[in-house]
């Protein structure tokens, strides 16, 4: 029982990270109907920006560590959002009226470009930082095994919950949220009714990049090591989470992220860790066989 609870905590923590990345996929697909396959590299860039920011603020410690974390978070979100905005302007906006295959190829090309850009600028070696947030709670012990909840895990879960509450409020109660929902239903009609479609899509990319930057910072703090290739696998898993939960559904993206995180944690804990990715993708295949729209997805209605 103790081991099960520990893996549950680990799975929820990992799932929260996947969920934040998956939101970027599902938002872009919901509005423009295209998959941003460069989103994993945006997450990777956010992780590197957070790493560089931490190294710059390395002398700060003690009581100032909380302020340093806030500064790193804001810097990472801001600079990564600029990359997200540039990605939309360069790789997507010129091809918006083109066949979907053209935008897909453009996104894959940007993914390769960003990988090599970071490799050339930061080097191919694994980058690491010293633990910033250490310590935690021992929930209880039994049979020689202690169930622990680290401060870092608490921070990840609380930040994810806070961001989701803010994000949900933006979507449900603001003019930007109404514009996003209008563009999701019909971009042409939304433009005729006065919605600035280009601006709405750009802001959507910016928000998705900002959330990916938060995930990148949390991965940097949680694991302490990153490299230029970290965005590829994380992006694939986050895309899997978005499809599993229902591509286009924001609650589905978070649900899919949690499920992928839990599957990985429990498979790694009870079976061989080498096949944890196989287990996650196998669950995706089974879900898509019996529910092609995902767990919370809605069937696409063709407009005539």
Residue 238 lies inside a defined structural domain of this protein: yes
Percent of the chain with pLDDT over 90: 31
pLDDT surpassing 60 at residue 139: yes
pLDDT surpassing 90 at residue 135: no
- At residue 117 the predicted structure's pLDDT band, cuts being 50, 70 and 90, is very high
pLDDT surpassing 90 at residue 45: yes
Enter the DSSP assignment of 138: E
Residue 152 lies inside a defined structural domain of this protein: yes
* Closest alpha carbon to 19 in 43, 3, 1, 46: 43
Residue 61 pLDDT: 59
Residue 302 lies inside a defined structural domain of this protein: no
Residue 64 lies inside a defined structural domain of this protein: yes
CATH number at residue 88: 1.10.3470
Query: What's the whole-number average pLDDT of the chain?
Result: 86
pTM, whole model, 2 decimals?
0.90
Residue 298 lies inside a defined structural domain of this protein: no
Q: Are 198 and 29 in contact (CB under 8 A)?
A: no
Residue 217 pLDDT: 92
Residue 301 pLDDT: 57
DSSP assignments along 51-87, one per residue: HHHHHHTTT--GGGHHHHHHHHHHHHHHHHHHHHHHH
Residue 275 lies inside a defined structural domain of this protein: yes
Percent of the chain with pLDDT over 70: 96
- At residue 1 the predicted structure's pLDDT band, cuts being 50, 70 and 90, is confident
Domain count, the chain: 1
Range of the domain at 160: 2-290
Q: What is the pLDDT of residues 153-185, one digit of tens each?
A: 999 999 998 888 888 888 888 898 899 888 888
Question: Which of the given ranges, 55-59, 68-72, 81-85, 278-282, has the highest pLDDT on average?
Answer: 81-85
Residue 304 lies inside a defined structural domain of this protein: no
Question: Which of the given ranges, 62-76, 186-200, 275-289, has the highest pLDDT on average?
Answer: 186-200
Residues 6+ apart with CB under 8 A from 283: 244, 259, 263
Distance between CA atoms of 271 and 215, rounded to whole angstroms?
A: 27
Residue 198 lies inside a defined structural domain of this protein: yes
Residue 138 pLDDT: 84
Residue 137 pLDDT: 85
Higher pLDDT, 119 or 141: 119
């Amino acid at each position: 029982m103790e081991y099960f609870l520990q893996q549950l905590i680990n799975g929820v923590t990992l799932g929260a990270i996947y969920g934040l990345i998956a939101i970027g996929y599902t938002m872009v697909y919901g509005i423009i109907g295209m998959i941003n396959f460069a989103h994993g590299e945006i997450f990777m860039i956010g992780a590197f920006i957070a790493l560089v920011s931490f190294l710059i603020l390395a002398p700060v410690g003690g009581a100032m560590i909380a302020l340093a974390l806030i500064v790193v978070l804001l810097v990472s979100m801001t600079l990564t959002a600029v990359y997200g905005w540039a990605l939309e302007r360069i790789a997507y906006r010129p091809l918006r009226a083109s066949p979907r295959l053209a935008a897909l190829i453009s996104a894959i090309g940007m993914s390769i470009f960003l990988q090599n850009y970071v490799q050339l600028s930061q080097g191919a070696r694994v980058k690491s930082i010293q633990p910033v947030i250490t310590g935690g709670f021992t929930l209880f012990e039994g049979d020689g095994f202690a169930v622990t909840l680290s401060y870092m895990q608490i921070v990840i879960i609380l930040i994810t919950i806070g961001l989701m509450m803010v994000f949900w409020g933006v979507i449900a109660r603001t003019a930007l949220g109404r514009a996003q929902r209008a563009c999701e239903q019909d971009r042409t009609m939304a433009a005729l009714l006065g919605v600035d479609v280009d601006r709405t899509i750009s802001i959507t990319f910016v928000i998705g990049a900002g959330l990916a930057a938060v995930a990148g910072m949390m991965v940097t703090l949680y694991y302490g090591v990153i490299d230029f290739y970290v965005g590829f696998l994380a992006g694939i898993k986050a895309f899997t989470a978005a499809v599993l939960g229902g591509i286009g559904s924001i609650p589905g993206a978070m649900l899919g992220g949690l499920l992928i995180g839990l599957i990985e944690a429990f498979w790694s804990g009870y079976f061989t860790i080498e096949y944890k990715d196989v287990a996650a993708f196998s669950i995706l295949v089974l879900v898509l066989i019996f529910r092609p729209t995902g767990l919370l997805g809605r069937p696409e209605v063709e407009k005539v």
